[in-house]
Each structure stands twice: as C-alpha cells, then as structure tokens.
Chains A and B, each alone.
Chain A
Amino acid sequence: MGMAEAILLTIATAATPLLLAAIGELVVERSGVLNLGVEGMMLMGAVVAFGMAYMTGNAWFGVLAGAIAGMLFSLFFGFLALTLVTNQVATGLALTLLGIGLSGMIGEAFVGQPGVKLGALDIPVLTDIPLVGRLLFGQDPMFYISLLLTAGVMWFLFRTRAGLTLRSVGDSHSSAHALGIKVIAIRYMAVMFGGFCAGLAGAQLSLVYTTQWIENMTAGRGWIALALVVFASWRPWRVLAGAYLFGAITIAQLHIQATNLGDLAGLPGPLYWLAGLVKAVPSQFLSSLPYLATIVVLVLISRNRRLTMMNTPASLGRPFVPDR
C-alpha cells in the first residue's frame, strides 16, 4: 500500500463522521429547524454504539443501536422545540449539554475497555486492484453508508415530491400549513433523521475511527458539522466536498505532528527547511487548525450577505404554532 493511498484512506475515515452528521443536519435545517444538539447526539450515538458492540461482540449491532440512540435522543429536542415551541438555539444547546453529561455517565464503565472494530470491506479480486482497489472496494462500511446517504438525500430533496414538501415547510411554514401540509409532523421526521445520522456519525467514531470510548470524544466535530451545513449553503454535494476538505485538514496536521524531521533528511534543501519550519510550530497550534479553518470558512461564505440570505431556508429557527 502506497503512502498516498494510505493518506487518502485516513482522510476518508476522518471525513465520514463529519459527512454523516452534516447531511442529517442539512435535512433538519431544510425543514426549517435549527438543531444545535448535533454534538450531543453524536456522543450518545458513540457511547451506545460502543456499549452495544462491547456487550454483544458484534459491531453491526453497535452501529444500529448508535443510530437509534441518536434518533431517540433527538426526540427530546423535538418535543421541546416543536411541540412546546421553545427557543431552538437554547434547546439545541441544552441537548448538547445533556448529551455530554449523559454519555459521560453511561460511558464511565467503558473507559479503557477494548472496543470492537467495524472491519473494512474485503472483496476478493476487486479489493486487490492496484492503486484504486482499497480506495473503492476496501473501506469500512460507514464510508459507503455515508456516500449512499448523501446521494439519497440529494435525490430525496430535489427529485421527489416529499422532498419538495419538506423544503416548502422550511421556506414558509405558514404557506405550507395553509396548503394542508402537516408542518410539525414533517419537522419531527426531519429532526429524527438528523438524530439518526448523528448517531451513525458517533458510531463511526467509536467503532471505526478509534475503537474505544473516550469522554467527549467528538471533540467539536458536531459543531464543525453544523458549520459545514452553512458552508455548503444547504446543498448536499457541497457538504460532501466540505467534509473531505476538513478531513484533509485534520489528517494533514496529524501527519505533520507524527512525522520526524529525521525521516525527511532525503528531501531537497528548501523543502527540508520548510518542513523544519512547520515542525517548529508547537503541536497545539496544529491541533487548532480545524477549528480555525472552520472560522475562516464561515467568514468567507457569510461575507456575501445577499447570497447567504438567498440560500438559507427562510423559516430556519423560527418557531411555528399552527393557527386553527
């Protein structure tokens, strides 16, 4: 396996949880709901997935349990924000804080325990094709699920009647309600789908990315996923591109941190000097790159006020109480 191939594989592994969480949140926001609880739902997914896989020894049970846990957990948000029309920003924050607390409590017993790994695909012949075999046919199942989900969401939102209905709810809940569309029911389903995806993303973290449970292991990925949705101006394929961009940034800084300058002695003079310069940067600054990149990207994308207004679902974050 070549170096480039290995790097591409790790980038995909780093990008997949971001993609999963962001594609779910994209559907939620397209229905006009802002759920800031992604980080909390991911943590619940991660801890339940780890626990289920740990107890049954089967990673697939873990994946399923994680996704369902994320979905059920999102209902706390749904009940408050949709049925009791609480402030969505505050309620989403509450979901994240509760998720951090509950997952830490549930996961206490799992700290330091060996996990179960969700193995990579291995198809005879196909996986062994040089160069592209591993990339196309030899990755972990979550990678394929994330791509299928992205394609599915793309098709659903823009090619089906139900998708059009969901978008109409997000753009003008009053008009949709006047047309007889069940606004709240559709938003509930969207929120649950978002929770399901965030749960999957969490499961990927505790079953593929690392096979252990660490308190707060999402390390802000849920928030980066939220930023990705804005960055993608609510378009699925741009979420895909954004997730891989951030995956690349994460892996690049990890590789820089892990490489020894001595290993690079063969590099030509100027390159070696550059590598030395980068290595002189403290590791904490490299670790902060994904967070700083998120800020830079958000600034760049939101600078154009008109473009942002045009793309944002018009009812995003606005509570809806049906008038009868």
Chain B
Amino acid sequence: MRIELVRRPLQSKLFSALSPFIAFALMVIAGAIIFAALGKNPVDGLYAYFIDPLTEVWSLHELAIKAAPLILIAVGLSVCFLSSNWNIGAEGQFTMGAIAGSVIPLYFPDFQNASVLPLMLIFGAVGGALYAGIPAILKARFNTNEILTSLMLVYVAQLILDWLVRGPWRDPAAMSFPQAPPFHAWAIVPELFPMSGRANWGIVFAIVAAVGIWFMMSRTLKGFEIKVIGQSPRAGRFGGFSTTRTIIFAFLVSGALAGLAGITEVAGAIGRLQPSISPGYGFAAIIVAFLGRLNPLGIIAAGFVLALSYLGGEAAQIAIGVTDKTVRAFQGMLLFFVLACDTLIHYRVRLVRPAPATAPSAPALETAHGHG
C-alpha cells in the first residue's frame, strides 16, 4: 500500500470548509491517546481541556484575554503569509511593542490623562512595526532570508527586555524582583465588564483589526496586490505591482499588530513590564493563522480555539495533574493536522496497492490510476 495524490482540477469547497474541523477532531483523538499513555482518564483530560474552561463566566473572560493577542498577531501574519513573506518573529515584535509602549508611563509618570493610553498603543504599534521593518528591509534590499533574521530577532528582543527590567527600568520598590514599576491607572487598558471578570478592550481591538484586514484583503486593490505577489511575483510585476513595496508593507502591518498586542497585554492583563510577558503567543499565532486558513474571520474563531488550549492546559494540570507542558505539544500537533488536512483541498488522496509486475494487470493499473 502506498499513498498517491491526484491533483484536483479545482480546489475542493467541501474540504476548504471542513479541513480545520477535521484537524481539530484529529488533535482531540491524539490528545486522548496521549492522556491514556500518561495513565490518565482520557475523558477527564479532554473535559478539563476543552469543556471545563467554557463553563464559568470568569474563565470566559480569561479566554477573551488570551484570544486577543493571538488574533491580533495572527491576522497580521496572514497578510505576511499570503504575500509569501515568512515572518516568524512575531514574538519579538510583540516584545518590542510592549517595550516601546511602556516608555510613556515609565518616563513620564506625571503625564496622567486620557491621552496616555492611546499614545501608548500607537507607540507599541510603531515599535513592533519598526522591529519587523528590520527583516523586511534586509529581505527587500539584500535578499536576506527573512525566516532566519526575524527568528533571530526574537532572541534579541527578549534579551533587551531582560536587560531593561533588570537594569534601567527596574522597580526599586519591588525588592529583589526584576520587574518595572506598575503602570498608573491612566495607562491601563480598561476592563469591559469589571463586574464579572478581567476581559479588557484587547479583544475588541483584535476583532476590529480582523475585520479591517478582512476588508483590505477582500475588497481593496492593496489586498489583491498582496495576494497576486504572494502567488506569483512575476505576474505581479507584469501587473505593475512592486515586490519590494509588498514585502515592506506586509511586515509593517504584521509588526504593528504584534506590537499592539504586546502593549495591550502589558498594559492590560499584566499591568507592568517583567522578564516574561508572553507564553509563546507569537509562535502560537502562526498556528492560529493556519487554522483560520489565513482568513481574518476564520482567524477570530481559531484564536479562541488556541486560547482554549492555553486555559485547558492550566485546568488539566489542576484537574488531573498532567503537566501544563502538554499545551505546546497539543498546539504543535494541531498545526500538523491542519497542514495535513489542507492537502485534501488540493489533492485527492488514494491508497494504491503495489502494482503487480505481470503484463495482464496493465489495464487494471490504468484504471487504478484513473484520470477522472
């Protein structure tokens, strides 16, 4: 038995819609197997992971808090990926956005009014965009591989943050903790419904950004340009579109959104700068982008799925005592299944028996391979 692919004449509409669901179902099955292998009851494990966090109001708030940065970053990444720019350094752009936005409350602590937060958000977006501009310019100007440069800059950004919170920005009042002073009240992202939980305006930013990017990609010339360049740079050039401009644009957009996510996280859920500000949102967002099939509206849904996996990891640790390290394994598996299922959109998959070597079977072979 071997697997053979036959290209479909047209993309399968059915599998375009179904593939994320099949992938999720496969991950649940694989998750059950892992729980069983760890000696836990798979039903309890899956319940704790995927159902339990949805049963309480406070944890729905937490879900929104975790989904916001994932969606913000992933819609930006979708612009990059659709234009064939492999920005995998969103984690670094997130960090730089958080740092840039924090400049205002930390250096101008006496500047306290309603304009502080909007300014911080702008600073954060600009910081993230500028940081994403580095791999973009290196790719556009020197043809440097953006995958490697953007990834290397993640480590650099984390070291810069580490230096800031242990050095110049360290809170003298925080005893021996390496962290910056807490932000003042004007510099905090307000909560949406303070009566019932912590969810803040971040999730609103995320949904607005997703709808905005959806509009740009599907209804404007810019979106068309990005998709053409992504699929065929040559065709794009004939159409008068500039590859260089597209590279810079895609990176700046995704960097800005990652930076916005960074400052929103620091000024929202955390409230101050500290050495670790992200449980890998920048990398999980890559999975969100693919699970959402690079469509901003799909990404909103996918963002909540990945957010659920973060909460589920914590819940499962408490409920059945598995390590929260399972979260990243589950997320990695999900991306694998998503990519594998996407094959069904473009190809028909067939299992083929090894062809018998004798002559009479030749016609049978012909039918087995088929052309329809």
Contacts and interface: CB of A to CB of B under 8 A. Distances in A.
How would you classify the secondary structure of chain A's contact residues: helix, strand, loop or mixed?
helix
B325 A90 contact: no
Interface stretch (A93-101, A131-139, A143-151, A152-160): A93-101
B318 to A, nearest CB: 16
B163 A302 contact: no
Interface stretch (A170-178, A233-241, A292-300): A292-300
A292 B332 contact: no
Contact of B156 (A105, A288, A302): A288
A294 B148 contact: yes
B361 to A, nearest CB: 15
Interface stretch (A17-25, A219-227, A264-272): A219-227
B76 to A, nearest CB: 16
B5 A85 contact: yes
Contact of A223 (B152, B287, B343): B152
- Of B88, B333, B336, B342, the most chain A CB neighbours within 10 A belong to B336
A93 B286 contact: yes
A223 B142 contact: no
B247 interface: no
Interface stretch (A190-198, A201-209, A254-262, A279-287): A279-287
Q: Size band of the A side of the interface?
A: 35 or more
Nearest to A77: B336
A161 interface: no
Contacts of A91: 336, 339
Given A93-B335, A101-B328, A303 B142 contact: yes
Given A85-B343, A90-B339, A288-B155, A105 B323 contact: yes
B336 A80 contact: yes
A295 B332 contact: no
Contacts of A287: 159
A85 B348 CA distance: 12
A97 B343 contact: no
B353 to A, nearest CB: 15
A186 to B, nearest CB: 16
B244 to A, nearest CB: 13
A301 to B, nearest CB: 9
B145 interface: yes
Contacts of B149: 295, 298-299
Interface in B1-18: 3, 5, 7
Contact of B283 (A85, A97, A226, A284): A97
A83 B3 contact: yes
A230 B149 CA distance: 12
Contacts of A303: 142-144
A233 to B, nearest CB: 13
Contacts of A215: 325
A273 interface: no
B330 interface: yes
Interface string B317-333: 00000010111111111
Contact of A295 (B153, B323, B339, B340): B153
Contacts of B49: none
A324 B342 CA distance: 23
Interface string A226-251: 11001000000000000000000000
A105 B144 contact: no
Nearest to A305: B143
A52 interface: no
20 contacts: A40-B332, A84-B3, A85-B347, A86-B339, A90-B290, A97-B287, A97-B328, A98-B336, A215-B325, A223-B152, A227-B148, A282-B163, A284-B159, A284-B160, A284-B162, A285-B159, A291-B156, A295-B152, A303-B144, A321-B347
Interface of B: 3, 5, 7, 86, 88, 138, 142-145, 147-149, 151-153, 155-156, 159-160, 162-163, 166-167, 283, 286-287, 290, 323, 325-333, 335-336, 339-340, 342-343, 347, 349, 369
Interface of A: 36, 40, 76, 80, 83-87, 89-91, 93-95, 97-102, 104-105, 108, 215, 219-220, 223, 226-227, 230, 282, 284-285, 287-288, 291-292, 294-295, 298-299, 302-303, 305, 308, 321, 324
